[in-house]
Chains A and B, each alone.
Chain A
């Protein structure tokens, strides 16, 4: 139980990452693949946050005298996640707009049926 308590965030994060990867690799519908990418992104963001997370910690601001260094949450991963979320949004927006154009051309989103380009 102790193990689960200390690693629960990592388990959740990698769970999401593997679910996302599975969807991207296996699903045929482009929209589902994009959803998979989104879950993958969420998993990574959770993973980054949990690297610096301390349970019941505080923000790293030295305004009070009694603020304890050991209770402060590392702010760097949160800055990373902020950037990663923005990048993820850009990729997803582009992917969805490409999906719309792809549907106009092929009348389907099934990736197995879209294979004009091949080796």
Chain B
């Protein structure tokens, strides 16, 4: 058996080893993240069959919980860490060629730290430890948004930093209140004692935690930073922020609501918030002329859809939400990676400047098209089974309200389809195509793009293995008694 603590320790150690290795040779540094993430991917893949049978608990320091910081490698945690390692690995291969200017060494250090923080958040079983890993994730992402040092990047990083810092302060107050109430920081221990205090006194820490985490998860109305940050960062970082960082926020919100508080009364509110986020995101994306802003707003919309699905609070809904989360991570990473080199070639982020790309960069354009169709939810891509599961879950509730809400979700999808088809039309059918040279993206960028395309189609055609994992993941999220029992024994 592999110890899940290595999933955090190895990338953390390697990220700080990068400057040292840089003393030996300047060429090694960009391969270090790849090595660390291959390790993480392999370990997570090995752990998945084990944790489906029985979650693995790691007690740091040798004390039994609730006296130690513990890691809980359940199906949810390992599934997320595998997703983080997969997307992170592909993006770090892409960055081999894409990151050419600036402090490259620090880019790789921060990049690996960001993914370490994300892995830590999904594996930890201690609420203060969750805060610490969350801060590692946030601080590295503030710095990476400002990586290029241009006007837009610095401005969005400042906005992101102020909002993120206030958010994490609120979260820390929530953690402090919980410690004051229960005298413990272990999530399972808090969860088992949550019924012993009045619901009024847990309401304030719950609201503070959800608001604080909601800033990173970009739930409306806490998402003002997202379009700026995701559109001004380098494209490889946009892919990670959209694919991984906000998903980790969603995970933390779900963990707080489902496991710690077991608050089924707030789920109704979450469903409405999700729907509002979806509609706001899609409508704003519709009116964008900047391709990266369009993708960023579309991320807000998709986050809304995930929150909507998780908020249904039934097994079908959670499976659909988690599946949508995976499908969005893969598709949006593919879109940002494809757009990265298109912008690099044209030097402009205007959608109209992408005319004729279908001929200039055929593979990249094909990748964009597949990613867009997958997000809209067309078969045979991965977006189809995920959206299908969400809609099936909403109809399964057999409530008038959910039937009406699903109509709004489908309306959001129609808007999404409209703006994505408009971009695809510009790629292939607009403008003069006669004197165009082929100038495809370089090979290190095409490898991850190709792998993502294959994954999107293969999982879309054959979703069974993924849904099997998701079924046990959703039962871990929904069954808090089982979670408490597995940690405290």
Contact = CB atoms under 8 A, between A and B. Distances in A.
Interface of A: 17, 20-21, 24, 30, 33, 37, 40-41, 44, 47-48, 51, 74, 76-77, 80, 83-84, 87, 90-91, 94-95, 98-99, 101-102, 105-106, 114, 116-117, 119
A51 B158 contact: no
B128 A80 contact: yes
A117 B156 contact: yes
Given A21-B166, A40-B166, A51-B180, A105 B154 contact: yes
B438 to A, nearest CB: 34
B158 A102 contact: yes
Nearest to B129: A83
A24 to B, nearest CB: 6
25 contacts: A17-B169, A20-B169, A37-B165, A47-B173, A48-B172, A48-B176, A51-B176, A51-B179, A51-B180, A76-B185, A80-B128, A80-B176, A84-B172, A87-B132, A87-B139, A98-B157, A99-B158, A101-B146, A102-B158, A105-B154, A105-B155, A116-B151, A116-B155, A117-B232, A119-B224
B159 interface: yes
Contacts of B284: 119
A117 B142 contact: no
B158 A37 contact: no
Nearest to B179: A51
Contacts of A30: 158
A102 B169 CA distance: 24
Contact of B143 (A20, A94, A116): A94
B152 interface: yes
Nearest to B181: A51
A89 B152 CA distance: 25
Q: Which label, helix, strand, loop or mixed, suits the secondary structure of the A interface?
A: helix
B227 interface: yes
Contacts of A95: 158, 161-162, 165
Contacts of B183: 74
Contacts of B224: 119
A117 B161 contact: no
Interface in B175-232: 175-176, 179-180, 183, 185, 224, 227-228, 231-232
Count chain B CB atoms within 10 A of each CB in A30, A47, A84, A116 and give the residue with the most. Answer: A84
A101 B156 contact: no
A41 to B, nearest CB: 7
Given A47-B173, A102-B155, A24 B166 contact: yes
A30 B152 CA distance: 16
A44 B173 contact: yes
B162 A117 contact: no
Contact of A117 (B128, B132, B159, B175): B159
Contacts, number: 89
Contacts of A84: 172
A105 B176 contact: no
B142 A94 contact: yes
Given A24-B166, A80-B176, A117-B152, 19 more contacts: A20-B169, A37-B166, A40-B166, A44-B173, A47-B173, A76-B179, A76-B185, A84-B172, A90-B139, A94-B139, A94-B161, A95-B165, A98-B142, A99-B158, A101-B154, A105-B154, A117-B227, A117-B228, A117-B231
B19 interface: no
A30 B161 CA distance: 12
Contact of B132 (A48, A83, A98): A83
3 pairs of A and B residues whose beta carbons are closest in the complex = A117-B228, A51-B180, A105-B151
Given A24-B162, A105-B154, A98 B169 contact: no
A82 to B, nearest CB: 11
B155 A114 contact: yes
A112 to B, nearest CB: 13
A98 B154 contact: yes
Contacts of B152: 116-117
Given A48-B176, A98-B146, A117 B155 contact: yes
B149 interface: yes
A95 B142 CA distance: 9
Contacts of A77: 176, 179
B169 A41 contact: yes
A68 B283 CA distance: 64
A91 B134 CA distance: 13
A90 B403 CA distance: 47
B135 interface: yes
B149 A101 contact: yes
Interface string B136-156: 000100110010011110111
B135 A87 contact: yes
Contacts of B135: 87, 90-91
B308 to A, nearest CB: 22
Nearest to A44: B172
Count chain A CB atoms within 10 A of each CB in B139, B150, B176 and give the residue with the most. Answer: B176
A28 B250 CA distance: 31
